[in-house]
Chains A and B, each alone.
Chain A
Amino acid sequence: MAGAVAALAARESGERVVLARRAPGATGLSGGAISVAHDPAAIATTPWAARAGVVESARRIAATVPGHPYDVLRDRLDRLWNAVEFATGQLSGLLAPPTGRNRWLLTPFGRAHPVATCQESMVAGDLAEVRGVLAVVAPRGHLWWDAGLVASGAVRARPLGAPEVRVVPLDLFMWEDAALARPFDLARMLEAPGAAEQVGAMLRERLPRFAAAALFPPVLGLDPAARVAERVSAAAGVPVAEFLSDLPSVPGLRLQRALEARLAEAGVDVLVGDVHDATGPGAPARVGGREVAAASWVLASGRYVGGGIARRGALLEPVLGLPVLASEGAFAEADARLAARAPGALTVRDSRAAQPLLAAGLKVDPELHPLDAEGRVIHDRLFAAGAVVGGHDQASDGTGMGVAIFTGWLAGRAAARAVPA
């Protein structure tokens, strides 16, 4: 996500942009919505309506989590919203326009999860907006999801503003072999002509009284152009949405594909392959056998899934060999010894606590220049964005995509400005 946003932002500034990558990154493995920040000051019983909006939440995180990218960028947070609007604008067919407050979407684990924006096919499932009963569909033909568990997230959140929920068993996925299909196959099955309409008609028969929306597993078509959610909704006579996905993630793949399509449309040159012989801006590097020279570089190679940070006996940044200095908790201050510490020393026993090993990455200045162990800028045309930047546990702290979009947007624009005339 960070790399794509940086490329699109630099492209918008009129520069020629190459996006070099090893493989699709963590975005395709995401739940398919965009979390930016939720209010750290809220306690479990604070009603959603009383919680801070997305940007104010980011400010509060900056003030309370030392070393978090929002803290490093605290003087630039007034631009966070521009970045979020830029990214959602780039993906406008897929993503719904953000409202400024968090939407609350259910997950397969029975939890209401705050997101700044989500796919159009998820909007009707925003618990804070459903006025009436939310019908949670239980497909009787497949064991992968437990509608009762999903619905429990809304039951628990009733005092916070969630609607009443009702589980509605449907004879869905009853056809041959569907019981053993993986989510992608189920999504494809619903794209077939007549399939979505049939599901909608079934739902119409079973809708509870006062149903205001119906929630399905996140398999309402792989291709957004098949408009599965809309078709089901039209046949059922009620707004229809998907809940968020764990892995494998159909919405995650949709998001990745939408990014690819947008990059191609915007004229970004995408090169696939390992990066070799990279020394930094100005000098050529080889990407998948081709030689690439660029005046400005944005390193947006992700954390461990993306391969931007690795640990092979010690923590390292494999492309340019930059020092891994930033983390959180006890390691929030730049620490040259971080990289060599044993995994046990960089983690704690309680899995819910902050885990410095999983928050490790590059240290950057407010211009997103990576810094060396002495705090010096390594190169003034080298920028870093997304999860390769340390100081936040991007997988779990609810700011991951927001940091990717914000730092990607800032770094892409800065990289474009830094190109010598």
Chain B
Amino acid sequence: MAGTKRYDVVVLGGGVNGTGVARDCAMRGLSVLLLEKGDLASGASGASSGMIHGGIRYMLSDRAVTELACRDAGFIRRIAPHLVFRIPFLMPFASQREAATLAERASWYATEVYVGTYDLYQPLKGGKPSTRLSAEEMYALEPSLRPGLHGAVTLDEWGIDGQRLCLSNALSAEAHGAEVRTWTEATRIVREGGRAVGVGWRDVLGGEHGEARAGVIYNATGAWSPEWGRGNGVAVTMRPGKGVHLSLDRRFSNFGIICKAVDGRQMFLMPHEEESIIGTTDDDYYGDPDDLEATADEVAYLLEGVESVVPSIRRARVTRAWAGVRTTLYEYGPTEDALSREHELVDHAAEGAAGLYSLVGGKLASYRAQSEEVSDRFMQVLGRGLVPCRTHEEPLPGGDEVPDVQELAARHGVAAGAVARLVYRQGSLARDVLRLTEEDPRLKLVVCRDEGLIAAEVVWIARHEKVRRLQDLRRRCRLGLAGCGGLDCARLAAQLTAHELGWDAERLRAELHDLLEVSWRDRRPVLDGWQLAQEELLRAVHRGLGGL
């Protein structure tokens, strides 16, 4: 038992809201402990669409959400310029007939006006204004679209690696004095006289346990909140919604494409980092968030929706299906899509747990503003006076500068393609990563050709990025997620990580098996076409030869 320690704030949950608040509070001088029962970003933050979009969908119902999202997207670009990339979208005008009806033309005009209104918010996030494209212009830009469309409007959005965003916030929080413990669960609330005064915790890997006391306990466990609350005598109500995405083995289209699903819902196909993503479903979810898997009907629904405008999607190689659970504010009646993306901080004082707060709702794009609002409240509760928020000014680790890729590649003799990906993930820290190859040139070895991952980055990640399990590398550098499914990279990355973390051969094999097992669960619902040949090879190597 590690004994009892005192903090100002204990944060539960290592998603974007938990790490965002940990960073903000630590930067304002509070002592902070963050507990995450799995790895950082292993819930909804890591399974989001990977966009800091302005929320054009919410403009009709929640214009405040749109404005907040756009403003905050601008700030995120400022503090993490390396992690953010432009995704231009096309919203094609489709008609079921050859000649569009008057009603259809009217609705396209309405769309144009609607997107035009969104343009008013674009300057906040540094997005480009929309353009109306003729059919000819549209097909020149995106030949994969089906014939017979009547042009499109464009829409500018930002993509981001949500998993590295969480990591960056956690690392920044630590740099400001916070303590971040992953694979550590909060076992119970400690109550004294109507107050929640602390939590018990247990390291799920090492078994170490202890107690943390704090003036404020912040429950940012997302979809795990209701169950955690029930176990601790407080109620957290929400409408959890399951969202499924599919990944393709390559960038399938030049632009993001907005499509309509069979039930009229909006969905998309978009290039994202080195792959393309199809998303998303939104369905009420009453299951266990630890037991989330995409189903055959969700996969079919997503592919059918994209097929309506990009017929060649049926020949694409789907590499995996992944799912997360959104937490939206509770309302009885509305359909999932109509639910507000607003957020709310729930105070549990009336349930005899003063000092305990839970976050419900919110979105990735606004995480920083949400964290600021929550931290303001905590400063007030703790009576710590006015210390202004600086999370929109101080860059996240590596975000102070984006180094020149060609120059770094030439200086270190590493392929520019790999350096580009390294700079994307690490920003200015890429210089430090490459310095490792000066001492040991073997570290220039390419571990994953799909992701442009070199051995030096794996070593860097193992040393500096809070890696406790091999599967954490899925979220640090997408290990085993690309087309190869770990065929090329898993063993080598495991060897490098084991060397850094002092794992013996048995632990290495156990970690490798665990990584392959979680990756298998993503691929299982989508095994088709050439992905099956890849699966056969993977199985021959890992099961057949490796006995894993």
Q: Are A305 and B536 in contact (CB under 8 A)?
A: yes
Q: Are A107 and B546 in contact (CB under 8 A)?
A: yes
Stretch at the interface among B89-97, B394-402, B487-495: B487-495
Report the minimal beta-carbon distance from A184 to chain B, rounded to whole angstroms.
14
Q: Are B442 and A109 in contact (CB under 8 A)?
A: no
Residues from chain B with Cβ under 8 Å of A311 in the complex: 527-529, 532
Within 8 Å of chain B (Cβ to Cβ): is A209? no
Known: A149-B508, A358-B539, A396-B540. 8 other contacts (CB 8 A): A31-B544, A108-B546, A111-B547, A179-B442, A247-B488, A349-B293, A396-B544, A400-B544
Residues from chain B with Cβ under 8 Å of A110 in the complex: 505, 508-509
Chain B interface main SS type: helix
Residues from chain B with Cβ under 8 Å of A396 in the complex: 539-540, 543-544
Per-position 1/0 for B158-194, Cβ under 8 A of A: 0000000000000000000000000000000000000
Per-position 1/0 for B432-459, Cβ under 8 A of A: 0000000001111110000000010000
Contact of A143 among B296, B496, B516, B537 (CB under 8 A): B496
19 chain-A/chain-B pairs, Cβ below 8 angstroms: A30-B540, A108-B491, A108-B545, A109-B546, A111-B545, A142-B445, A149-B509, A152-B509, A180-B441, A304-B533, A311-B529, A311-B532, A313-B314, A344-B525, A349-B524, A357-B532, A358-B536, A393-B539, A398-B544
Report the minimal beta-carbon distance from A24 to chain B, rounded to whole angstroms.
14
Within 8 Å of chain A (Cβ to Cβ): is B526? yes
Within 8 Å of chain A (Cβ to Cβ): is B517? yes
Report the minimal beta-carbon distance from B402 to chain A, rounded to whole angstroms.
26
Given contacts A345-B296, A349-B524, is CB(A143)–CB(B492) below 8 Å?
A: yes
Within 8 Å of chain A (Cβ to Cβ): is B422? no
List the 6 closest A-B pairs by CB distance, nearest first.
A152-B505, A109-B546, A342-B296, A396-B543, A395-B540, A343-B527
Near A by CB (< 8 A), chain B positions 29-52 give none
Q: Are B296 and A344 in contact (CB under 8 A)?
A: yes
User: Interface of B with A (CB < 8 Å)?
Assistant: 293, 295-296, 314, 441-446, 455, 487-488, 491-492, 495-496, 498-499, 504-506, 508-509, 512, 516-517, 520-521, 524-529, 532-533, 535-537, 539-548
Q: Are B516 and A304 in contact (CB under 8 A)?
A: no
Within 8 Å of chain B (Cβ to Cβ): is A172? no
Residues from chain B with Cβ under 8 Å of A247 in the complex: 487-488, 537, 541
Contact of B532 among A146, A304, A398 (CB under 8 A): A304
Given contacts A111-B545, A349-B521, A349-B524, is CB(A395)–CB(B539) below 8 Å?
A: yes
Q: Are B545 and A179 in contact (CB under 8 A)?
A: no
Q: Are A107 and B545 in contact (CB under 8 A)?
A: yes
Report the minimal beta-carbon distance from A176 to chain B, rounded to whole angstroms.
9
Q: Are A109 and B296 in contact (CB under 8 A)?
A: no
Q: Are B441 and A179 in contact (CB under 8 A)?
A: yes
Contact of B527 among A155, A179, A347, A349 (CB under 8 A): A347
How many angstroms from the CA of A144 to the CA of B526 in the assembled complex?
A: 31
Residues from chain A with Cβ under 8 Å of B517 in the complex: 350-351
Residues from chain A with Cβ under 8 Å of B524 in the complex: 343-344, 347, 349
Within 8 Å of chain B (Cβ to Cβ): is A141? yes
Contact of B442 among A142, A152, A155, A344 (CB under 8 A): A142
Greatest chain A CB density within 10 A among B293, B498, B529, B547 is at B547
Contact of A357 among B496, B516, B527, B540 (CB under 8 A): B527
Q: Are B545 and A246 in contact (CB under 8 A)?
A: yes
Closest A-chain residue to B295, C-beta based? A344
Q: Are A179 and B445 in contact (CB under 8 A)?
A: yes
Closest B-chain residue to A150, C-beta based? B505
Closest A-chain residue to B505, C-beta based? A152
Residues from chain A with Cβ under 8 Å of B525 in the complex: 342-344
Report the minimal beta-carbon distance from B462 to chain A, rounded to whole angstroms.
14
Within 8 Å of chain B (Cβ to Cβ): is A312? yes
Residues from chain A with Cβ under 8 Å of B505 in the complex: 110, 148-149, 151-152, 155
Within 8 Å of chain B (Cβ to Cβ): is A188? no
Closest B-chain residue to A345, C-beta based? B296
Q: Are A143 and B533 in contact (CB under 8 A)?
A: no
Closest B-chain residue to A349, C-beta based? B521
How many angstroms from the CA of A345 to the CA of B297 in the assembled complex?
A: 12
Q: Are B442 and A395 in contact (CB under 8 A)?
A: no
Given contacts A179-B442, A179-B444, is CB(A149)–CB(B529) below 8 Å?
A: no
Residues from chain B with Cβ under 8 Å of A350 in the complex: 517
Within 8 Å of chain B (Cβ to Cβ): is A352? yes
Within 8 Å of chain B (Cβ to Cβ): is A29? yes
Greatest chain A CB density within 10 A among B444, B512, B540, B547 is at B540
Residues from chain A with Cβ under 8 Å of B528 in the complex: 311-313, 343
Q: Are B295 and A109 in contact (CB under 8 A)?
A: no
Q: Are B495 and A143 in contact (CB under 8 A)?
A: yes
Closest B-chain residue to A151, C-beta based? B505
Report the minimal beta-carbon distance from B63 to chain A, rounded to whole angstroms.
40
Q: Are B506 and A152 in contact (CB under 8 A)?
A: yes
Within 8 Å of chain B (Cβ to Cβ): is A103? no
Within 8 Å of chain B (Cβ to Cβ): is A303? yes
How many angstroms from the CA of A146 to the CA of B496 in the assembled complex?
A: 9
Q: Are A29 and B506 in contact (CB under 8 A)?
A: no
Near B by CB (< 8 A), chain A positions 45-80 give none
Closest A-chain residue to B321, C-beta based? A344
Contact of A395 among B443, B444, B491, B543 (CB under 8 A): B543
How many angstroms from the CA of A148 to the CA of B506 in the assembled complex?
A: 11
Contact of B537 among A107, A244, A307, A395 (CB under 8 A): A395
Closest A-chain residue to B526, C-beta based? A343
Report the minimal beta-carbon distance from B538 to chain A, rounded to whole angstroms.
8
How many angstroms from the CA of A303 to the CA of B537 in the assembled complex?
A: 11
Closest A-chain residue to B496, C-beta based? A143
Per-position 1/0 for A348-390, Cβ under 8 A of B: 0111100101100000000000000000000000000000000
Within 8 Å of chain B (Cβ to Cβ): is A227? no
